[in-house]
A and B are shown apart, each in its own frame.
Chain A
């Protein structure tokens, strides 16, 4: 059909409106992906900051504050520059604790390489690796500010035993050693890769990561349905479901958490019950009673193939394990 002047005008007006909307939107997903590559900095943010007003939420598509006023961290809600400056003011050291037993030792190298690159880049990080195979830990090149401590452990014969002993090990090592070496401590699964920066936006007293949205046909195994088990979370009281694959906080808060979870696991075993999802359900029950001071969006542990529009960055993902 013929393009009339009216068509031309309509196109121009639409383009103008679209441009105006785009200009005023402080963050676009493509820019976020670019920012993921730069070491902790946010290039576009300084110029955008002068546009900041109280009338303009940065992310309108997601919840950024819990009903108890804990921030929920999504890409586009924070300025890492400002947070880095605050972190440096306080001279803090952060630790990471992870377990690699039996066949999980195959993940050590991938984990360490990606965590060294993307976890609190530019800041001092102590990696504490508990493993039953310390000799298998090959020489890893770390950033000058980072250190790796390899701590040998016995392997338990069952996964449940490891979960129980993991909490026990953590709490006793915090008390005996970590509290003197770090201010903040984060527990991570070993079978993960970091794909984008995880920076000081995670630093707070008690921090948990919201579980990803899983579209599967399996029952959510971590949700305990037997109330007599210590891991039962009453319906409607757990506002969020948190993953046990990535959580942390100040050493004192993580100590209290691991002590409580270890206690819960001990009770379950004595009663002959094993909390399904092991320490994940106990973690969730603890966090209902002791609300996290900061939540990390599912960006921080993304374990499905899906890509909903609200997930702009996938920062940490599990790697597929070998069947061997």
Chain B
């Protein structure tokens, strides 16, 4: 009976009929075109979890376009990782924040290796010189410090929102203003359907990234995070400090800065979560909950594995580790 009433069908309410507007409200509440019943769409602290089918891109666009925002993107292309830049940028031009101003900040030890990619109007690229460290772990962990310094010196003046992404990835579908929020984290594709005990948090008490058993909300991926530029500044500073604390104690967290990121997001919960659609690993079979893959790892050749000496696997789950 509820579904039978539509918006314009009643000119004047008749006796015994439910109020048209209340009907719409309740119908909308219970039967809505934008609704996912198969997944969690709000966290216990009332942060939205962004999945395909939860939002209307038009409403969000009409709310955000007038704000004349510039969105920043950081990505690190050190050593042979510069070979991922073209695909990253070309796919970003097609799918990332279309119609918005975007500044790409590519941190690299060889700016001359950055290919000249054609960008849409209102979008520009800046190569940020970055030292190349001895091991991939070191490079990985220095990212927090580098982003933090760059925000303080440059990007806080140029952008309102900043996303920090891995470079060895590609956009496949729209990534729009539904992702904007004060502090945004993404759910790691390898751990979104497993119980908390299996999250690969750092479990040694000696590390500043330690999370005890029985605690933790989600396992967030280090390949995607972002938010208001001021929040990213605070976040990267805190992570960098805790990485330094570990260094002083001769400890390196299980998954480098991803462990520290997870520790930080436990006590300072993100205001918005992105589903694994936004941080997918194409080697994983796509479950029905993943209707759309927007951003995923570039499948690498076996030969490419040793892009930086010592690199084995960069992140849990993103190497095809079975869960």
- Give chain A's interface residues, CB within 8 Å of chain B: 45, 49-50, 52-58, 60-73, 77-79, 82-83, 86, 201, 210-211, 213-217, 219-220, 223, 235-236, 239-241, 291, 294, 310
Contacts and interface: CB of A to CB of B under 8 A. Distances in A.
A57 B56 CA distance: 20
A291 B29 contact: no
Q: Interface of chain B, helix or strand or loop or mixed?
A: loop
Contact of B40 (A57, A210, A213, A215): A57
A79 to B, nearest CB: 4
A86 B47 CA distance: 12
Interface string B162-185: 000000000000000010000000
Given A68-B56, A219-B19, 16 more contacts: A52-B196, A53-B40, A53-B195, A54-B39, A54-B193, A67-B34, A69-B50, A69-B54, A77-B46, A82-B44, A83-B45, A86-B45, A213-B25, A215-B18, A219-B12, A220-B20
A59 to B, nearest CB: 9
A62 B37 contact: no
A310 B192 CA distance: 28
B39 to A, nearest CB: 6
B70 to A, nearest CB: 21
B59 interface: yes
A241 B28 CA distance: 11
Contacts of B20: 220
Contacts, number: 138
Contacts of A56: 40
Contacts of B59: 67-68, 291
A82 B48 CA distance: 15
B232 interface: no
A62 B32 CA distance: 9
Interface in B16-66: 16, 18-22, 25-26, 28-30, 32, 34-42, 44-50, 54-56, 59-60, 63
A63 B41 CA distance: 10
Contacts of A60: 37
5 contacts: A53-B194, A58-B42, A63-B32, A67-B55, A214-B22
A63 B46 contact: no
Nearest to B218: A54
Q: Which of B16, B41, B187 has its CB near the most chain A CB atoms (within 10 A)?
A: B41
B226 to A, nearest CB: 15
A73 B43 CA distance: 11
Interface string B72-96: 0000000000000000000000000
B44 A52 contact: yes
B124 to A, nearest CB: 29
B54 A65 contact: yes
B301 to A, nearest CB: 32
Given A62-B30, A239-B28, A213 B22 contact: yes
B161 to A, nearest CB: 15
Nearest to B196: A50
Contacts of A73: 46
Contacts of B19: 214-216, 219-220
Q: Which of A49, A69, A70, A239 has its CB near the most chain B CB atoms (within 10 A)?
A: A69
A79 B45 contact: yes
B29 A310 contact: yes
B156 interface: no
Q: Which of A67, A216, A291 has its CB near the most chain B CB atoms (within 10 A)?
A: A67
Q: Which of A54, A57, A211 has its CB near the most chain B CB atoms (within 10 A)?
A: A54
Contacts of A63: 28-30, 32, 35
Given A61-B30, A235-B8, A71 B35 contact: no
Contacts of B21: 220, 223, 241
A192 to B, nearest CB: 20
Contacts of B275: 54
B289 interface: yes
Contacts of B60: 68-69
Contacts of B193: 53-55
Interface in B300-322: none
Contact of B15 (A55, A72, A217): A217
B44 A79 contact: yes
Contacts of B218: 54
A54 B44 contact: no
Contact of B48 (A71, A213, A223, A291): A71
B217 interface: yes
Nearest to B31: A63
Interface string B1-22: 0000001100011011011111
Given A55-B289, A78-B44, A213 B26 contact: yes
A217 B45 CA distance: 39
Given A55-B40, A55-B193, A213-B25, A236 B7 contact: yes
A70 B56 CA distance: 12
B196 A69 contact: no
